[in-house]
A and B are shown apart, each in its own frame.
Chain A
Amino acid sequence: MMLPLVVPAMLADQAVYHQYYNPLEPVAALPWLLFTILKMIIVFTVIMVGVAMLTLAERKISAWIQDRIGPNRTGYGGLLQPAADGLKNIMKEETYPDAAYMPLFILAPMMSFIPALITFAVIPFAAPLSTRWGLVEMSVADAPIGFLYILAISSLGVYGVVLAGWSSNNKYSLLGGVRSSAQMVSYEVAMGMAAVSVLLLSGNVSLPAIVHQQQVMGWNVFPLLIGFFIFCVASFAETNRLPFDLPEAESELIAGYHTEYSAMKFSMFFIAEYSNMVTASALMVTLFFGGWDIPGTQWDNVAPHTGLKFLLTLAFFFAKLLFFLFLYMWIRWTLPRFRYDQLMSLGWKIMLPLALAYIVITGGAVLVLDMLQVPRTVQWFGISPFWAALGVLNLVLAALVFVILDRGRIISPAYSRLSPVQVARLRARSAGRSLAASQGD
């Protein structure tokens, strides 16, 4: 009864998906090579300079949040502070612990630094630019497997952290490395699961296709609100930022995996952390906030792809990116660090089941909406009915999650094991002990 209804709907679905996958006409070989090299150089430079400025931004924002002023002595308003820091780090003496395993000790900073940088390669950061040699896609590598590539490469960064922890031959470093790997594994799962909901809507893992789907339908953050929430939390954990900076955990592990590192090698870990932030923010923007899409207009999505469109979409992409980078810092200076058992508990007992249930719900909703042939494109008042329906469903789910699930519970396995009976017994035992102690004295 259901099957004949479902199958044509799914076939119709395929047609919808193919409309999003529209690779650009390839540019001739030599210009393509030149453009790619040019894009590589520009993106690399912008990220490196951006990371340097992010360290300043972090210090400024932390200062403002604590009612301080922050670095303001080097250059105008402290703008040259990153240059001074970089110079200092290059000039400083590098120390090598005697007991460290040297090959991996030297390799580890590179291992964490390189994946952080190359993940950005597939992210489309502006509208394609029309040149006399053809349309140039504005991502370093226009890979049709975009999102899979990011999942594959971004988790490689953990090798740098774990190898740094192990090769330092220091118990605190090792603990930091081990924690980092456990954290990465736990949250990678939830992150991937949350992203599946985006793939359900776009039907494609190519990031330009995902951006295009959002241009047609509206930004994914509304119809996939819970997915965005899970993805956001998981990417905080993936980038080892507070409240999930367990691998560093200054109060208990000195500096975690980079305790033994000094000078530029230490700086490499820093650059890796900030580039990871940039990539994770770019990913959130691309998957949930329409990538380089300018909201409320279709002008930016259609030919002719002029330089003005390129610049405006680039500006919008950067504005969204900066918002998420600010969110990272804002949350860092607001929330304290999770305890390790809370971290694991949150990852496996809340985020993962939530993400799994969410896939089922979103998948079901998409199927039902497609069966009812609710149009995905913009219909009335610039709103797509498909988008609105999923959005309303998500508002209901969000109310359930944030109002009912988030009340009266503490994330901690240590807590959940204690029943009232056990608490009473513990109290009685403790009281008895103190009584005995007082009599003994």
Chain B
Amino acid sequence: MAIQVKVLARPVADASYVRAMLSGMALTFKHLMNPHKKTEQYPEVKWALSPRWRGTHRMLTDEAGKAKCVACGLCPQICPANCIKLVPGEDEEGNRYPLVYEIDEFRCIFCGYCQEVCPEEAIHVGRHYENSEYSREGFVYDLERLMAQTHPVCEMWDPADPKGE
């Protein structure tokens, strides 16, 4: 295919270097003098997260301090990244509970489906972003770790109130 060249007429009539330069310099000077800078002083001032922010997970507990999870298996079923490992167990009274519940936060894509699908409102994605670890293994959160998290949890999108008002 032949190369198509678009020949544009340049707006020469209004061209001026000195005037353009001076107006540019006036603009940059205005910004220079502007006291409202956009920088956030990060470690001292934390970023205000959106209520719908989806970060690392948190497992909620009941009054007795046990995980709310009933090991129904919906979250590993729906997880698109296949990052939730769940081994269900059952006690003498017939209550199901997770023997193993692990989330690999490296594989997680933070879609929030696990929170949406959970019938017991047990697993949640959290409003949190400072997740550094010294080893890769540290990113596989077990049940104990998930229950120990204290940060606020995500408020999921509500179709009845799309703007969150």
Given contacts A409-B12, A410-B12, whether A64 and B32 have CB atoms under 8 Å apart is: yes
Q: What residues of chain A lie closer than 8 Å to B10, measured between beta carbons?
A: 410, 415
CB pair A434–B4 under 8 Å, yes or no, is yes
A76 in the interface, Cβ–Cβ < 8 Å? no
- Distance to closest chain B CB from A403 (angstroms): 9
A406 in the interface, Cβ–Cβ < 8 Å? yes
CB pair A411–B17 under 8 Å, yes or no, is yes
Q: What residues of chain A lie closer than 8 Å to B18, measured between beta carbons?
A: 402, 406
A408 in the interface, Cβ–Cβ < 8 Å? yes
Q: What residues of chain B lie closer than 8 Å to A334, measured between beta carbons?
A: 21, 24-25, 27-28
Which single residue of chain A is at the shortest CB-CB distance from B43?
A: A73
8 Å CB contacts to A: which residues of B104-148? none
Q: What residues of chain B lie closer than 8 Å to A67, measured between beta carbons?
A: 31, 34, 36-39
A360 in the interface, Cβ–Cβ < 8 Å? no
8 Å CB contacts to A: which residues of B1-29? 1-7, 9-10, 12-19, 21, 24-25, 27-29
Binding stretch for chain B, among A40-48, A94-102, A130-138, A423-431: A423-431
Q: How far is the CA of A64 from the CA of B29 in the complex (A)?
A: 9
- Distance to closest chain A CB from B110 (angstroms): 29
CB pair A408–B31 under 8 Å, yes or no, is no
Q: Tell me what chain A mostly uses at the interface: helix, strand, loop, or mixed.
A: helix
Which residue in A333, A430, A437 is a CB contact (below 8 Å) of B28? A333
Given contacts A334-B21, A415-B10, whether A68 and B5 have CB atoms under 8 Å apart is: no
By size class, the interface of chain B is 20 to 34
CB pair A65–B21 under 8 Å, yes or no, is no
Which single residue of chain B is at the shortest CB-CB distance from A411?
A: B17
CB pair B1–A437 under 8 Å, yes or no, is yes
CB pair A68–B39 under 8 Å, yes or no, is yes
Given contacts A67-B37, A69-B37, A441-B1, whether A408 and B21 have CB atoms under 8 Å apart is: no
A251 in the interface, Cβ–Cβ < 8 Å? no
CB pair A427–B16 under 8 Å, yes or no, is no
Q: How far is the CA of A411 from the CA of B20 in the complex (A)?
A: 14
CB pair A406–B17 under 8 Å, yes or no, is yes
Q: How far is the CA of A61 from the CA of B29 in the complex (A)?
A: 10
A318 in the interface, Cβ–Cβ < 8 Å? no
- Distance to closest chain B CB from A69 (angstroms): 4
Q: What residues of chain B lie closer than 8 Å to A410, measured between beta carbons?
A: 10, 12, 15
Contact with B along A324-349 (1 / 0, CB 8 A): 00000011011100000000000000
Q: What residues of chain A lie closer than 8 Å to B7, measured between beta carbons?
A: 423, 426-427, 430
CB pair A330–B28 under 8 Å, yes or no, is yes
CB pair B19–A408 under 8 Å, yes or no, is no
Which residue in A68, A407, A415, A430 is a CB contact (below 8 Å) of B37? A68
CB pair A437–B17 under 8 Å, yes or no, is no
A4 in the interface, Cβ–Cβ < 8 Å? no
- Distance to closest chain B CB from A431 (angstroms): 9
CB pair A407–B31 under 8 Å, yes or no, is no
Given contacts A65-B32, A330-B25, A334-B25, whether A408 and B39 have CB atoms under 8 Å apart is: no
- Distance to closest chain B CB from A346 (angstroms): 9
A296 in the interface, Cβ–Cβ < 8 Å? no
- Distance to closest chain A CB from B6 (angstroms): 7
Which residue in A63, A406, A415, A436 is a CB contact (below 8 Å) of B2? A436
- Seen from chain B, the residues whose Cβ lies within 8 Å of a Cβ on chain A are 1-7, 9-10, 12-19, 21, 24-25, 27-29, 31-32, 34, 36-39, 41
Q: What are 9 contact pairs spanning A and B, CB under 8 A?
A: A64-B37, A330-B25, A330-B28, A408-B15, A411-B17, A430-B6, A433-B2, A436-B2, A437-B4
